[in-house]
Amino acid sequence: MKLGMHTLTQRRGLLFGGDYNPEQWPEEVWAQDAALMRDAGVNLVTVGVFSWARLEPEPGKRDFGWLDRLLELMAAHDIGVDLATPTASPPPWLGHRWPETLPVDEHGHTLWYGARNQFCPSSSVYWERSLDLVTALADRYAGHPALAMWHVGNEYGQVCFCDASAAAFRSWLRERYGGLDGLNEAWGTTFWSQGYSDWEEVLPPRAAPYIVNPSQRLDWRRFCSDQMLAHFRAQRDVLRARTPGVPVTTNFMGLFKGIDSWAWAEEEDVVANDCYPEPGDPLTPARTALTHDLMRGLAKGRPWLLMEQATSAVNWRPHNLPKPPGQFRLESLQALARGADGLCYFQWRASRFGAERFHAAMVPHAGPETRLHRAVREHGRELRRLSGVAGTEVPARVAMMFGWESWWALEERGRPSDRLNADEQLLRYYVPFFERGVAVDVVPPGADLDAYALVVVPNLFLVSDEQAAGLDAYVRRGGVLVVGPFSGVADPRAHIRIGRFPAPLREVLGASGEEWQPVGEPVRCRWQGGAEFTADTWTELLAAEGAEVVAEYASGGLAGLPAVTRHRHGDGLAWYVGTMPEPAALAALAERVLADAGVTGVLPALPPGVEAVRRGEVLFVLNHGTDTVRVELPERADDLLTGATAEGSVTLAPREVAALVPTGGAAG
Ligand code: GLA
């Protein structure tokens, strides 16, 4: 079996811990830390993420002694180490001696050392030096009892526009297009006299006087993701060759635009994420759940790891709100409920110096005898009661499709409206399912959809012929499909598909359009039965071509024309939504398509602010609201967290969680 989270959890159970930066502390503190970690149930620490300058203080001069001692200490306390390759922050000597390793922005400005991430993913010196160090680390720690996992780099996302990057981009383009003719055709360079006559003329999309070619920018994004991935892969291969049984991961940043996480996840043994929910935004619980579901999708349904989260305030927002007591526990358990088998934090001990002095940690500046650390300890200990959850899956009959290429292509300058965004559109559609306790898998374009009764495509601006054919076939075989506005518009080169839109989905939807019409003010729409709702931002001049009109515009220039359609196609149904309905209307729509698909939530009714999700045989119920709520339960259940038995209902104070198994059940 492929390496994965089970490689860690089989030995250690659910994982609990965080980033540990021992180089910031004298060694006396390490011993206290190890004892505190044990006491708190910590069984995994990520070490060495930013240790390059400590490990290699001068070019070629290595100092691993301190790391040897640290790993010994962790092994003696039976704490696994997720050992990082410190490639996210090269030491000053690298940039000083080899300035070509430093990244250059689109204006040609060098980004200097003094922070982190100052590397060019295409620099040969950076590659050489980083891989040398990774090789030395792997050779030294192969077989070490503390070594539990490899953590490559950190939050990959660095982009560079330098000449070496330009050369690497050209090689990537040659590979893709063969000759310049192919490139010119794909980039549509007859527009604005952009035709290339020599490969040397081809550049990254550097700062230019006006809107840069969208196809060029799309390929650049593809290239940047691939180039960083190549660096990840090169490290991974060094590590795998030396430690074949040790999983390799890196940490994602949720719905981060800089890398195509679908492609990356294929190359990892463990999918890991860093998650810092925005306090004070009412959509945060849903947005976070969506991110967790995306991670589960990236892991192909298998468990994933919450690598970094905060116990309280972060340091990088302009106004950093602390979390009220109970909040980080609620967030941790939310991730667990949605498939995480490990709950880790940034970071173990709060830094005294450096840019993150004011970032919360598991041990605050005030020390371990604090409200916050006590809560950390209690949380670490209580996870033992949930150990039976490890390895289990979250069953879902609904899929939401999301693709990075389409996201990139959609959000270029010069489109009908900047206010239609792929990630926000995804969230809009996700919310009503979240509020109904309906589990959703996030899947990539082109995914096998057979397991799903309902597939929602909130936006798929760029679609390949194969992906479109896959959606068509899914409906013909009996699936229910919902497609949101401005989908099926462009091909993989970001060229507009000619004809009525969405050209490749016209047949399956039984509807098509001829104009996109963003609106300034919300418009009124009317369901078939007469009830009205509003829609905002976006409308389309549509015609039904066999589809039934479920809702039409009731005001504005499109009054009387279709806003929402539903089409029987083969054995299935395809819905098209040409606008952005208000949340209540989207919720009504969700109810109808769920009924079409025969899917219900895990509980019949959820009070506002309550999340419910089933993982394995445990039903997690989480109260994100500010009121105490009573949630009706269909059967008698035991709460693994409190040990109490719930008869018919469970009452949850704000930020409380129940982990319920049918009385007599075996989990836990
Ligand atoms: C991310 C990074 C960490 C740290 C935290 C701060 O998770 O990986 O190194 O900077 O953000 O929130």
Which two structure tokens, joined as six digits, stand for 608? Answer: 């506002």
What phi, psi does 464 have (nearest 5°)?
A: -85, 165
The tens digit of pLDDT for each residue in 430-442 reads 999 999 999 999 9
The tens digit of pLDDT for each residue in 486-507 reads 999 999 999 999 999 999 999 9
Strand bridging mode 304-308 / 340-345: parallel
Active site residue 393: no
Active site residue 617: no
Residue-range domain boundaries for the chain? 5-161+220-389, 398-597, 610-662
CATH number of 398-597: 3.40.50.880
Strand bridging mode 440-443 / 454-457: unpaired
Give the 3-state secondary structure of 287-349: HHHHHHHHHHHHCCCCCEEEEECCCCCCCCCCCCCCCCCCHHHHHHHHHHHCCEEEEEECCCE
| 88 Cα: distance to centroid of ligand 1 (angstroms) | 12
Q: How much of the chain, in percent, has pLDDT values that exceed 90?
A: 98
**Contact indicator for 38, 79 with CB cutoff of 8 Å:** yes
pLDDT at 251 over 80: yes
Strand positions, DSSP E, 545-646? 548-553, 562-569, 572-577, 580-581, 610-615, 618-623, 629-632, 637-639, 645-646
| 15 Cα: distance to centroid of ligand 1 (angstroms) | 19
Tokens 């589990």 label which residue? 439
Which two structure tokens, joined as six digits, stand for 332? Answer: 């941790």
Question: In DSSP terms, which residues pair with 150 in a beta bridge?
Answer: 83, 248
Tokens 């397991």 label which residue? 451
User: CA nearest 98: which of 164, 193, 189, 9?
Assistant: 164
Nearest-angstrom CA–CA distance, 17 and 33: 12
**What rounded mean pLDDT belongs to the chain?**
97
The tens digit of pLDDT for each residue in 63-103 reads 999 999 999 999 999 999 999 999 999 999 999 999 999 99
Strand positions, DSSP E, 101-244? 147-152
Tokens 């792929």 label which residue? 422
Ligand 1: residues with CB < 6 A are 154-155, 251, 274, 276, 308, 314, 346, 356, 359
| 257 Cα: distance to centroid of ligand 1 (angstroms) | 17
Of the residues 56, 100, 106, 155, which is catalytic?
155
**Contact indicator for 206, 106 with CB cutoff of 8 Å:** yes
Residue 13 CB coordination number (10 Å): 19
pLDDT band at 280 (very low <50, low <70, confident <90, very high): confident
Q: What DSSP character marks residue 316?
A: S
CATH number of 610-662: 2.60.40.1180
Substitution candidate for ligand 1 out of 89, 274, 328, 349 with most atoms within 8 A of CB: 274
Residue 58 CB coordination number (10 Å): 11
Nearest-angstrom CA–CA distance, 236 and 151: 9
| 424 Cα: distance to centroid of ligand 1 (angstroms) | 23
pLDDT at 1 over 90: no
Tell me, yes or no, if the two domains 5-161+220-389 and 610-662 fold the same way.
Answer: no
Nearest-angstrom CA–CA distance, 230 and 263: 11
Which amino acid residue places its CA nearest to atom 12 of ligand 1? 314
Element (H, E) at 456: strand 454-457
What angle is formed at CA 284 by the lines to CA 277 and CA 574, rounded to 5 degrees? 125
Sign, CA dihedral 581-582-584-590, equals positive
Give the position, in ligand 1's atom list, of the atom nearest the Cα of 276: 12
Cβ partners under 8 Å of residue 86, min gap 6: 48, 49, 50, 51, 52, 55, 133
Nearest-angstrom CA–CA distance, 663 and 634: 12
The tens digit of pLDDT for each residue in 452-471 reads 999 999 999 999 999 999 99
Q: Is 27 exposed, middle or buried (0-12, 13-18, 19+ CB in 10 A)?
A: exposed
Which two structure tokens, joined as six digits, stand for 463? Answer: 């679609």
CATH number of 5-161+220-389: 3.20.20.80
pLDDT band at 668 (very low <50, low <70, confident <90, very high): very low
Residues found in the chain:
668
User: CA nearest 239: which of 137, 125, 126, 87?
Assistant: 137
Average pLDDT for residues 569-591, to the nearest whole number?
98
Which amino acid residue places its CA nearest to atom 10 of ligand 1? 356
pLDDT at 665 over 70: no
Average pLDDT for residues 213-217, to the nearest whole number?
98
The torsion defined by the Cα of 204, 208, 211 and 212, in degrees rounded to 10, comes to: -20
ω into residue 334 within 30 of 0, thus cis? no
Tokens 């490290």 label which residue? 235
The torsion defined by the Cα of 171, 176, 178 and 179, in degrees rounded to 10, comes to: -80
What is the per-residue pLDDT for 57?
A: 98
Tokens 């410190």 label which residue? 86
Average pLDDT for residues 4-10, to the nearest whole number?
98
What angle is formed at CA 450 by the lines to CA 446 and CA 451, rounded to 5 degrees? 115
**Contact indicator for 339, 296 with CB cutoff of 8 Å:** yes
Nearest-angstrom CA–CA distance, 523 and 538: 9
CA distances (Å), origin 652, targets 632, 646, 659: 11, 11, 11
The tens digit of pLDDT for each residue in 361-402 reads 999 999 999 999 999 999 999 999 999 999 999 999 999 999
What is the per-residue pLDDT for 666?
A: 52
CB burial of 149-179 (b: ≥16 within 10 Å; e: otherwise) equals bbbbbbbbbbbbbbebbbebbbebbeeebee
